[in-house]
Structure 1
Amino acid sequence: MPPLSAAKKPTRYLALSGGVGGAKLVHGLAQVLPAEALMVAVNIGDDFEHLGLSICPDLDTVLYTLAGVVHPQQGWGRADESLGVLDELRRLGGPDWFTLGDRDIALHLLRSQLLAQGLSLSQVSNELARRLGVDVTVLPVSDQRLRTTVYTDQGALAFQDYFVRLRCAPVLRALDFVGAAQARLAPAVRELLTGDDLAGVIVCPSNPYLSLAPMLAIAELRELLRTVAAPVIAVSPIVAGDAIKGPTAKIMRELGVQPQAGIIAELYADFVDAVIVDVADAALADGDTRFDVAATVMKTAEHRAALARHCIALVQRLRS
């Protein structure tokens, strides 16, 4: 990491996030930072078109979480949701494998309309955040189309077919991020990464293969993370050899990787300065300066805020 100029006083943080796990830490960061000090760049590899609607699951999860309207048990979708449209769709024999609540459909309808009017996905995300009362800047990592294809023992699958329709049951063999080679960073994300006011980058505890790998497949992002002067830290989604949520551990095993918190330091070795692991994996930090230890399981809003404070303190220590 190049030395930082003592004359500069950077104040803004960039968080890289997938869905549920990332959204929890983003919520914690939003509790402890001023809204103008936080930007969130979100995975778009999960995005797809369904029933004529443009659906962005990870963006929506982050927005719903920050707006305080996310389903508290699921961690995705809307709280107090109704399923009238889905029930009628099922009765009519339509595809019902992807759960769309009535309030959720309203947001997808509005997004689809705004995109059809020529707005970029970043512009649409800014507008949806405003209408949901979210002050934090939440953006797609790119305004260009990027889609994850999953290669499995049942053949090539679109991401949502694998993740939702088949519930990650097929054995994963490889991943491809279609469009990543042509994708450019969202302009505001690039501006923050190349500007003087970036205090640090926080890679949230999202699935490293399904949520963060699509983002890092954008060459521009990975190169800027390698060369940025500000510290880059990551929070491991693996605790005591298993994933806090989701299929991360299963995917690792199928790819021949042992699920362990330390693997995050290897996956991000070319750009990360430190990895925060849970207290259950504290032994990793014994004599290894790559690792820092904190309570990373975020069951409450207080847990999220505490981890966010730890992330910011670690960034500040690395800066010094």
Structure 2
Amino acid sequence: MTPRITLLAGGVGGAKLAEGLSAICPPERLSIIGNVADDQEFHGLWVSPDIDTLTYSLADLIDRQQGWGLAGESHRVLAGLERLGCDTWMSLGDQDIATHIFRTQLRRQGVRPSAIAQSIAESLGIGTKLLLPTDDPLQTRVRTDQGWLAFQEYFVRERCRPEVREVHFEGATEACPTPEALEAIETADLLLIAPSNPVVSIAPILAVPGIRHAIEKSLAPRVAISPLIGGCTVKGPADRMLTAMGYRCSNTGVAASYAGLIDGLVIDSIDRTDRTALEAEGLQVMTTDTLMTCLEEKARLAEETLAFASACRRVEAET
């Protein structure tokens, strides 16, 4: 029987691995905990970029060229808002806006964000459990040489140009974990961390009280996939953010950011020379091609990662 798999994921890299796992796993055996700290209100609507990227990817509706949003979009609503003098730097397509209208309506009715996310996923034919780490407000704030910015302001409006000084997860200490996320971690046979940005995609999930502790005490093998290839990211600012947070921009830096949380790390074949240093830190290491440009590559990496994770064993699990 396929093991029960729980994946922590955010951003495009997380969505790609989620697709790969979804292609080879029965939906009832896969749970995905997504990042909600990028959420922000635009034009009176609640937008959840990472959750929507996961959802649209799993539904095969994603705009493959840009990696986010819906394929075949038009932007007539945004053009109309621009004519009215609104700031439209956050590009929202017309079909995408329908998702945000639906989400915002239900939030105003008091429906749990977790239930809304699952409802949207199910309406698009997704059987996999798409979970939120918290239903409470949580937002990544980035201190730059231009001052404090919400993550979308830094990432989209400023195009990651300002130098990052500090990252803060506003609302994290007051947030409560969702029971669904805790259950998915506690009942998992394998715990995976996607090749997402460790600083702004995975760390916000771990910042929710109870999430990190649940992973630490789990006896399931815990494996992360590095988002770096040759010391660089495929897309996004993970390399610069690791450096800004005091980690080396390398697979050893990625491993350090997950210290105490992982038993194994998957790295790209081009970085095979990192194996010795990683194993010296007590990690089990697998090298393979981690670049995912099509569904076949996503499924292949997912299958290899599951085989590697199944072979990893926690010391606690063996004693």
1:150 Cα offset (Å): 0.7
- Alignment correspondent of 1:209: 199
Letter in 2 for 1:203: I
Matched, 1:26 2:18: yes
1:255 Cα offset (Å): 4.0
- Alignment correspondent of 2:288: 294
Equivalent of 1:15 in 1, 7, 13: 7
1:114 Cα offset (Å): 1.2
2 CA distance for matches of 1:189 and 1:257?
Answer: 28
- Alignment correspondent of 2:30: 38
2 CA distance for matches of 1:153 and 1:23?
Answer: 30
SS at match of 1:262: helix
Equivalent of 1:62 in 54, 57, 62: 54
Return closer, same or farther for 1:300/1:10 CA change in 2, 3 Å cut-off: closer
Structure 2: give runs of 5+ residues left out of the alignment: none
2 CA distance for matches of 1:266 and 1:300?
Answer: 30
1:286 Cα offset (Å): 3.9
2 CA distance for matches of 1:27 and 1:246?
Answer: 19
- Alignment correspondent of 1:137: 129
2 CA distance for matches of 1:163 and 1:213?
Answer: 17
- Alignment correspondent of 1:229: 219
Do the aligned partners of 2:290 and 2:301 also contact (CA within 8 Å) in 1? yes
* Percent identity of paired positions between Structure 1 and Structure 2: 39
Do the aligned partners of 1:10 and 1:199 also contact (CA within 8 Å) in 2? no
1:192 Cα offset (Å): 2.2
1 CA distance for matches of 2:81 and 2:214?
Answer: 45
- Alignment correspondent of 1:310: 304
Equivalent of 2:231 in 218, 236, 241: 241
Letter in 1 for 2:71: A
Letter in 2 for 1:26: A
Letter in 1 for 2:55: L
What is the TM-score with the length of structure 1 in the denominator? 0.93
- Alignment correspondent of 2:39: 47
Do the aligned partners of 1:193 and 1:228 also contact (CA within 8 Å) in 2? yes
Letter in 1 for 2:84: L
Letter in 2 for 1:309: E
Query: Please, what is the CA RMSD of the aligned residues?
Result: 1.5
Letter in 2 for 1:228: S
User: 1:103-134: per-residue Cα shift (whole Å, max 9, x none)?
Assistant: 00000000111111111111001100111111
State which drifts further: 78-87 or 178-187.
178-187
User: 1:239-272: per-residue Cα shift (whole Å, max 9, x none)?
Assistant: 1010111111222334454311221211111110
Structure 1: give runs of 5+ residues left out of the alignment: 1-8
- Alignment correspondent of 1:162: 154
1:11 Cα offset (Å): 2.7
- Alignment correspondent of 1:218: 208
1 CA distance for matches of 2:247 and 2:256?
Answer: 11
1 CA distance for matches of 2:290 and 2:4?
Answer: 22
2 CA distance for matches of 1:246 and 1:80?
Answer: 23
Equivalent residues, number: 310
2 CA distance for matches of 1:261 and 1:148?
Answer: 24
Matched, 1:259 2:253: no
SS at match of 1:15: strand
1:10 Cα offset (Å): 8.0
Do the aligned partners of 1:151 and 1:175 also contact (CA within 8 Å) in 2? yes
